[in-house]
Amino acid sequence: MASKPKLEVLDALRGFCALAVVVLHFSENYIPNYGFRLMPHGCLPVEYFFILTGFTLVYAYDARWAQGMTIRSFFVRRVIRLQPLVVVGSIIGAACYLLSVEQYAYRFPCELGLGKLGLLTLWCSTLLPAPSLFGWRLLHPLQGPLWTLFYIYLANVLYALVLRRMKTWMILTLAVAAIAATWYFGARSGGFHCGAEWSWWGTKPTLMGILNSPNMGALARMAFPLFAGMAIARRGWKIKTGNWALPICLLILLFIFFAPEMRPNCLTKGPLDPAVILPALGLTASKALNGGFETVAVVVGMPLVLLLGIGGEIRNRRVAAVCSFLGRYSFPLYCTHYSFTILQRVWRDAHPNAPWQMHLATVCACALFAFISAYVAMLVADWVSGKFKRRMP
C-alpha cells in the first residue's frame, strides 16, 4: 500500500496546541480564574486534538481494513503508540509527588505512603480512571490531562467496532446531531473549560446529575470534532492554501484562544475590555454568550483549521522537519507536563512571601523540567513503538 503524504501543517498545529495548554496550566498558578484571563479560551486546544483524532483514524487506517488489518492488530498499533506516554506520564507524576511530599500535604488533605503511591501509579498507568486520593476530582490524579487521552482511546474503540463500518452520510448525520449536544453543554457551563472528573465526590448521583456531569460534557466535547474529522477525511475535503496554510491557521487559533472572555464574572479591565466591547455591540455578557462563542469556535473554527491544514504544504525542508518534530513532541508534552505545574503551585503556596524573582525562577525551572521530561518521554515512546512494530506483520 502506497504511503500517504505527510501533513506537516497539522503536526505543527498539534504542537502549537500542546504548547498553549502548557502555558495555560502554568498561568493558573498566578492569574485568577484558573488562567483563563491570560488565555480566555485556552481549553479549546483539546478540541483540535479531537478533530485531528477523527481525521487521523480515517486517513491512516480506513484503507488498511481492506488490506487485512484485524481489530486486534489495530488496537495493538494504537496501544503501542499511546500507552507508553501514559506510563511515563504517571511515573513522572509520582516522582513530582515524592520530590515535595510535605508541600503536597500542605496544599492537599491526603499524604500517601510509598505503597499507596506505587499502587496509584500502576493504576494510572492503565489509563483507567483512578481514585482521587489527593482530594481532588481528577480522573487521573498524577497527570490531570490524561482524561483527554482516555477519551481518545474511547474514540479509537468506537471507530474500530462501529464507526468504520458506517457510511459517510451517517457520519455526517452524527456530526450535525452532535452540534446540539455541543451547544447545550457550552451554553449550560459557559464554555468548555471543564474536563472529565469525578462528578459526585461525596454526593449521591442522580439521573440529571449524570446527564449534566462534566463526563457527559467531555463526551459532547469529543463527539462533534470526532465525527467532523472523520467526515472530512472520508470526503477528501480540503482548502488549498499552499505555503500560507500554517500562518493562516495559527492566526485563526490565536483569535479563538485569546478572544475576550464573555462570562460576566470574568470581565476584566484592559485594552479589550468585554464590559465595554459587548454593550457597544448590543450584547450582554452571559454564560450562554461565552458558551455560544466557544460552540461556534468548535463547530466552525476547528473544521476550518483542519481543512486549511490539509490543503497546505511546507516547502522549506527545515521548517517541515520542525513541524514534524512538533507533531511527535506534542502528545509527550501534553501527557507529562501537568505534574510540574502542580509542583510549582504547591511551592507557591508554601512560600507566599518569597521574592518575585524566586517565583519566576521556580516557574522557569519547572517549565524546563517539563520540556525535558516530555522529550525523554517521546524518545521512550518512539523506542517502545519501534520495538513492537518490527515484530508486527
Q: Assess contact for 94 and 142: CB atoms under 8 A.
A: yes
Q: What digits encode the pLDDT tens for the residues 347-378?
A: 888 888 899 899 999 999 999 999 999 999 99
Q: CA geometry: angle at 185 spanning 56 and 163, to 5°?
A: 30
Beta bridge partners of 165: none
- Letter for the amino acid at 364? C
Q: What digits encode the pLDDT tens for the residues 214-250?
A: 667 788 889 999 999 999 999 999 999 989 999 999 9
Domains of the chain: total: 1
The answer to whether position 214 is within a domain reads yes
Phi, psi of 352 (to 5 degrees): -65, -25
The answer to whether position 1 is within a domain reads no
Task: Report the pLDDT value the prediction gives residue 111, as an integer from 0 to 100.
Answer: 65
Task: Report the pLDDT value the prediction gives residue 324, as an integer from 0 to 100.
Answer: 94
Distance CA(366)–CA(73), nearest Å, equals 39
Task: Report the pLDDT value the prediction gives residue 35, as an integer from 0 to 100.
Answer: 46
C-alpha cell at position 79: 496501544
Distance, C-alpha 228 to centroid of its chain:
17
The answer to whether position 164 is within a domain reads yes
- Letter for the amino acid at 229? G
Q: Is the pLDDT of residue 264 over 80?
A: no
78's CB contacts (< 8 A; 6+ apart) are: 153, 156
Q: What is the DSSP string of 314-331?
A: --SHHHHHHHHHHHHHHH
The answer to whether position 2 is within a domain reads no
Q: Is the model more confident about 239 or about 107? A: 239
Residue 111, burial from CB neighbour count under 10 angstroms (0-12, 13-18, 19+): middle
Distance CA(2)–CA(336), nearest Å, equals 34
C-alpha cell at position 314: 511546507
Nearest one of 342, 330, 327, 375 to 88, comparing CA atoms: 375
Q: What digits encode the pLDDT tens for the residues 43-95?
A: 899 999 999 999 999 999 999 998 889 999 999 989 998 899 999 999 999 89
Distance CA(273)–CA(276), nearest Å, equals 6
The answer to whether position 49 is within a domain reads yes
What 3-state class would DSSP assign to 212? coil
Task: Report the pLDDT value the prediction gives residue 133, as an integer from 0 to 100.
Answer: 64
Q: Model confidence at 2, in pLDDT bands (50, 70, 90)?
A: low
The answer to whether position 261 is within a domain reads yes
Task: Report the pLDDT value the prediction gives residue 140, as an integer from 0 to 100.
Answer: 85
Host domain of residue 330: 8-197+205-391
Task: Report the pLDDT value the prediction gives residue 210, as an integer from 0 to 100.
Answer: 53
The answer to whether position 84 is within a domain reads yes
The answer to whether position 31 is within a domain reads yes
Q: Assess contact for 334 and 145: CB atoms under 8 A.
A: yes
Q: Mean pLDDT in the chain?
A: 84
Q: Model confidence at 102, in pLDDT bands (50, 70, 90)?
A: low
Q: Is the pLDDT of residue 141 over 80?
A: yes
Q: Model confidence at 260, in pLDDT bands (50, 70, 90)?
A: confident
Distance CA(300)–CA(349), nearest Å, equals 40
The count of residues in the chain is 393
